[in-house]
Amino acid sequence: MRFAAYEHHHRRRVAVVDDDGTLLPLPEVTSLTALLSDCGGLPGLLTAGAAAQDAAPGPHVSEVRLLPPLQPVSVRDFVTFEEHVEGVRRSVSGAVGVPEQWYAAPTFYFTNPHAIHGPHDDIPVPPGSRVLDFELEVAAVIGREGRDLSPERARDHIVGYTVFNDWSARDLQSAEMTVGLGPCKGKDTATTLGPYLVTADELEPYRDADGFLRLAVTAAINGEVVGRDYLSNMSWTFEEMVAYASRGTRVVPGDVLGSGTCGNGGCLAELWGLRGERTPPPLKPGDTVTLTVEGVGTVSNTVVPGTDPVPLPPGRRRSRERP
């Protein structure tokens, strides 16, 4: 099944999306995140979706504003594609190859669950940035709580998948990361999710012998394809990522786990690193980025002008006086 959140006539609803794009609203449901908490996993979500089949059909997807399919409880963004790491390292620092430590575990950082945009929303340029980039990813969504999961058990905790665009202000990111921490405002202002939550069972036909989902993914700017890859080029499966995320803590319904950016043009920074120049150039107002994932759908967002940063003073050099 495909689940959508949408706004129509100033009302927010959650619906199952029929094959022709007709929305079948779930009675009394206005939040997919809340529904996931109540369902207890994929079987419960499918049961809830089946109930919508008997309800009166709603509008077509073309007649509504599609919202992010869910408001995440948390967002972990991984980095699982070697090709992406190689290109971005060369772009940022001139380093070659992949650090050996990268292979030890599927590294991730936490990003902002309060900055989620819908599949066709405009994306403002982050305050103070002049080097805006997109990142083509797929996200797994958690449907059942779990702790210290094995990859085998983790599969039952993934309820579905959605397209994920990790918008990145590369100039802010590069400056911040010289401090020795992860990205901050460089990744803080926008993440696109959508167009739907596609339930995990829908994608099982794409699973290869090694457990990876072999989905074709493409990225285009203003209609010109700049990136093309297979999701199965990840170095860890989603189940392995969930297992790592749950180590020593919990994953809960509504958690979102991004795959990390695919290779072969999954973002501009990778291309800049490979080409030694900023070609294509950083995104600017008026540019439209379209990401398509086989079996999941397409998101398409247009960049618009942002706001100027509110000025702050630099850090003070204090006396370090002690009592």
pLDDT tens-digit map of 109-166: 999 999 999 999 999 999 999 999 999 999 999 999 999 999 999 999 999 999 999 9
Residue 92 has pLDDT above 80, yes or no: no
Tally of structural domains, the chain:
2
Residues 166 and 46 in one domain: no
Other CB atoms within 10 A of residue 56 CB:
8
Residue 93 has pLDDT above 80, yes or no: no
Strand partners, 288: 302
Token reading at 288? 């439209």
Select from 197, 235, 221, 206 the least CA-distant residue to 102: 235
59/142 same-domain check: no
pLDDT of residue 95: 81
Do 141 and 283 fall within a single domain? yes
pLDDT digits (tens, 9 = 90+) for 41-85: 999 999 999 999 888 999 999 999 999 999 999 999 999 999 999
Residues 27 and 132 in one domain: no
Look-up of token digits 């993914």: 217
Let me know if residue 322 belongs to a domain: no
Q: Which residues contact 51 (CB under 8 A, 6 or more apart)?
A: 26, 27
Give pLDDT, residue 198. 98
Question: Are 115 and 12 in the same domain?
Answer: no
The answer to whether residues 215 and 271 belong to one domain is yes
In a domain, 211, yes or no: yes
Which residues lie across from 138 on neighbouring strands? Answer: 163
Kind plus residue range of the DSSP H or E element containing 186: none
144 and 161 share a domain? Answer: yes
DSSP result, 246-294 = TTTSEE-TT-EEE----TTTSBHHHHHHHHTS--SPPB-TT-EEEEEET
Which of the 8 DSSP states describes residue 18? P
Alpha helices for the chain (secondary structure H):
32-39, 42-52, 82-93, 151-154, 170-177, 200-203, 238-245, 268-275
Based on the domain organization, do 165 and 272 belong to the same domain? yes
CA–CA separation, 219 vs 6, rounded Å?
24
Which domain, by its residues, includes 14? 2-67
Q: What is the pLDDT of residue 54?
A: 84
pLDDT at 202 > cutoff 90 = yes
> How many angstroms separate the CA atoms of 104 and 243, rounded?
14
